[in-house]
Structure 1
Amino acid sequence: MDGARCGLWLGGYVPLIGESVGPTGRIAALDLAPENIARVERLVREGRCAAPVECRVGSVLDLPFAAATFDGVWCANVAQYLTEAEFTRAMGELCRVTKPGGLVAVKEFDATLLQMLPLDPAIFARLAAARRAKAAATGLLGAWCGPLLGPFFRRAGLTDLVRKGWLIERWAPPPRPTRQFVAMGLRFQAGLAAAHDVSPADRKALQAAAADPDRLLDDPDFCLREAFVVTRGRVPA
């Protein structure tokens, strides 16, 4: 992407995207949560973005931008919170605001591959399966939808689809930001286990890890493994 282009970027990737856009480009950052927009505004004030940034609070279901405004759109960690009908609408909005020939990219998790060693490597997969079974009643795409978004891109009329997955590993000894992230994640996962149909052994193991995350984090064989998939398509010229 050359510096003359602009983009609508959903998520916390503004500094990295600013490096690609450059000082002659423009970025529009939009998020439903005001606190996320406040974080982006803070990054901009701190000079951590190479391009000018316009920040707005808004919904991906009704983007506050004119048609064919952007050369590229990046949407991260949003689809999992939407139903199929909502994400279909969101894809229509992302395509609407992208210029002909422009790119639409969506990044999402694959929670079925989450691991926090030395916990049982399959414990989070079993929790993801329980969450998926419960989500069937609500229609939410869920945090496992990363590899499953191709059909939405094709139905939206996008071409030249490219999909790529990443496995992110953080091995012992974890730095402080990783420790904080894992402690928060364990509390979240333990709460999910309490609300879903998982075995008492799995529920107990996650509750114990959440209550004493240092025991896990200080283990010499600790490893956090996460997976996500980026799906990219092009708006027909």
Structure 2
Amino acid sequence: MNDARMTSTGHAVSDAPWLDLHFQACRAEYEEALRFVGIAPGWTVLDAGCGSGGYIPLLGELVGPAGQVHALDLAPENVADVERLVQEGHCAAPTEVRVGSVLDLPFADATFDCVWCANVAQYLTEAEFTQVMGGFRRVAKPGGLVAVKDSDGTLLQVLPLDPAIFARRVAARRAKAAGTGLLGSWCGSSLARFFRQAGLTDIVRKGWLVERWAPPSPATREFVAMGLRYGAGLAAELDVPPADREALRAAAADPDGVLDDPDFCSREAFVVTIGRIPT
């Protein structure tokens, strides 16, 4: 099994099994965050970088049959998954799905009342995300909204493992990315400046902590086990202490030892940044 969970795009942790399980494990907070944006019935909304479509059913519910949902993703296999989701009747609004890049949005100016973009910025450089925000401003209507969700990986923990292991791992990832401009999976708390640079107004940020205590649900168990395998492989390529690598390797080899611990707790955080297109 590919523990990096890559799609054909080469982006890690972006394939449907990872995305679907992650969404299921975090559904309450993820759906609350999307509702927080303020999408209204009758709106036309773009899910830019839709992945395997976790947000599509709720987007359809929010805009209703009088609205429209457009979904765009770079990975053809993810687009095929979203198309199946729509064909099976899981979206209450008319929905169009296509393969495409957030760097070159294939939509006319002033098309959307809201652009929603979840966990895409982390794969981009600062220059690329600046370009993306310009594209979002172009395709959103005057007075419309742009909402971007992304992780703040500096808060990731899986207890009873030492939280310092995860702090050192993200520090090593940031050091490795230094000089490349890559925003990375720790970027969620720092995206407002791109909204300001793009000229958006009324900028709002809100964070969510996703916390799951013992005993974990089946979805949490499966996702954390998958995450431990991915994290162990990641640590093997980073400049972290050998003891950290060994602790993560051992946890990945026996995830039940972590998940069945009475002091188990998984924590992750994300931030949604919202801005308005000037009228």
Same fold (TM over 0.5): yes
Shift of 1:34: 1.7
Aligned to 2:169: 127
**Residue 203 (structure 1) aligned with residue 245 (structure 2):** yes
Moved over 4 A (4+): none
Aligned to 2:235: 193
Pairing 1:147-186 to 2, within 5 Å after superposition: 147-186=189-228
Aligned to 1:81: 123
1:89-133 Cα distance to aligned partner (Å, 9 max, x none): 011111110000000000000000000111112211110000000
Please state whether the residue corresponding to 1:228 is helix, strand or coil.
strand
Aligned to 2:43: 5
Shift of 1:3: 2.3
Aligned to 1:219: 261
**Residue 16 (structure 1) aligned with residue 58 (structure 2):** yes
Normalising to structure 1: TM-score of the pair?
A: 0.97
1:111 counterpart letter in structure 2: G
CA distance in 1, matches of 2:272, 2:41: 23
Identify the structure with the greater strand proportion.
1
CA distance in 1, matches of 2:88, 2:218: 22
CA distance in 2, matches of 1:162, 1:66: 26
Aligned to 2:3: none
Q: Which runs of 5+ in 1 are unaligned?
A: none
Normalising to structure 2: TM-score of the pair?
A: 0.83
Shift of 1:45: 2.3
CA distance in 2, matches of 1:4, 1:230: 22
Aligned to 2:94: 52
2:55 counterpart letter in structure 1: Y
Aligned to 1:41: 83
Shift of 1:35: 2.2
CA distance in 2, matches of 1:179, 1:160: 39
Please state whether the residue corresponding to 2:142 is helix, strand or coil.
strand
1:124-161 Cα distance to aligned partner (Å, 9 max, x none): 11100000000003220011000111110000000000
Please state whether the residue corresponding to 1:100 is helix, strand or coil.
strand
Please state whether the residue corresponding to 1:122 is helix, strand or coil.
helix
**Residue 72 (structure 1) aligned with residue 72 (structure 2):** no
CA distance in 2, matches of 1:213, 1:190: 11
Give % identity: 73
CA distance in 2, matches of 1:16, 1:221: 34
